[in-house]
A and B are shown apart, each in its own frame.
Chain A
Amino acid sequence: MKAGIVSYGIYIPRYRITPASIGAVWGQDGNSMGKALGIESKSVPAPDEDAATIAVESARRMLRRVRVDPSRIGAIFVGSESHPYAVKPTATIVGEAIGATPVMTAADFEFACKAGTAAIQACLGLVHMDDNVMPMDYALAIGSDTSQGAPGNALEYSASAGGVSFLIGKDDVIAKIDHSISITTDTPDFWRREGMKYPSHAERFTGVPAYFKHVEMCASKVMENMGTKPGDYDYAVFHQPNGKFPVNVARKLGFTSEKIAPGLWTPRIGNTYSASMMMGLAGILDVAKPNDLILGVSYGSGAGSDGFHIEITDAIEDFNRSASPLVADEAGLGMDIDYATYLKFRKKIKMEGE
């Protein structure tokens, strides 16, 4: 039996800020900025949320949908560019909080916005491994971020927060991962040096030679290896640094807008970074039926893409989706805050004693 997704869970913080509220402070036309980026609002984490709390919430919601004893999870990998500690793994906090410790391996992954999908690939490898080498019933891949853009920077309109957990295994798989392939090059489109609070990006360098090149090459490679064409897929999902790039790359590759709609969430919640493409995939799993085919491609600056050919199985009919919130439920709940509250929540105001 091929391995794949056994369960999934998502978490999106409740607070939202609109491009209009951000633009108003910096003398920019926020509404036009939002339109240009394809973003209506973005999620903002509460002051007591971080990539670890978001990862834990998504993992607990994933577990609520299945009867899996958490002690059978043999690996937890958390992909993020906003791990709360520089040294001390987020994955250990998740492991303890969901009751998977102590017989498990854990590590934190980093690769800009594709660290979570790199974790999925590592989990696939582990569950496919000979049990005599390393016993592994289930492995947990998480993408979780509370990303930040420098105040006034274009990134501030899109950088948001969210988390997605995928439980990878070989029993009761709801979505088989039949194939995965990656594209990786050394491309300096976006970076953050150690100790720096905000990332930097090479303005016009981020589109064509970075995002589009890697995503298109990766999607084409998956289809070439599987002998498929865009028309064969029921759904497609691509990394969503804004609301426009995934729409444009889908059109260039030949996927209709209907096929990407259930997985397109950045317009509502912003770019959840490591969770972005995984959130889209979760949105598709929320509505998918047996035998549906999905093409998924992530993108991480620096740069690389992970591609997945996924087939929904009959097991999704008995899967307890309603035990946890769907992406649409969670994206639809939001409390708008103003820019001053946003600054306070994101700890951009120096407090007494700091």
Chain B
Amino acid sequence: MAVARYWRQQEQRYSLAGSKCAICNGSFFPKRTICPTCHRRSIGKMEKFLFSGKGKVVTYTIVHDPIISYADQSPYVLAVIALEEGDLVLGQIVDCDPRIVDIDLDVEMVFRRLSAEGASGTIQYGFKFRLMDVGSS
């Protein structure tokens, strides 16, 4: 059931919670139980890690043909973000004219509505991104 699935991913979505390897200091999102560099040596040495939410745009696309629940946000930007502490994450970039988004721009995490199960179901919240120092018209 969707409610339970979202609830299990809540910390990951709310706070960009991933893992850090105590051996090589690598940070990973989402959570991992084994470090891809240290392999078996990292078992039991992976710690919870909260990313700051700061990062840079690696690549992006502008979605003009959204699913119906995102129609009110169309056109919107989906981007691959390189998090400051390492690893990549896919996220929406909000609060801007999509035409100003570019590779290498700095972004910060924001807390937004991701989806809702109709008008009577639960609301899912989590991270999206916003360009830093942009917003003056």
Contact = CB atoms under 8 A, between A and B. Distances in A.
B113 A49 contact: yes
A334 B135 contact: yes
Chain A contact residues (Cβ within 8 angstroms of B): what range?
A: 20 to 34
Nearest to A337: B137
Contacts of A14: 95, 135
A47 B68 CA distance: 13
B24 interface: no
A53 B135 contact: no
A49 B111 CA distance: 8
B14 interface: yes
B137 A335 contact: yes
Contacts, number: 67
A347 B72 contact: yes
Interface residues of B, number: 26
Contacts of B10: 96
B132 to A, nearest CB: 11
B119 interface: yes
Contact of B110 (A52, A57, A334): A57
A103 interface: no
Contacts of A33: none
Contacts of B110: 53, 57
B113 to A, nearest CB: 4
Given A46-B94, A52-B125, A335-B137, A97 B72 contact: no
A49 B112 contact: yes
Contacts of B68: 351-353
A53 B125 contact: yes
Nearest to B94: A46
A92 B13 CA distance: 15
A52 B73 CA distance: 19
> Which are the 9 A-B pairs with shortest beta-carbon distances?
A333-B135, A48-B112, A47-B72, A56-B111, A48-B113, A14-B95, A97-B14, A335-B137, A14-B135
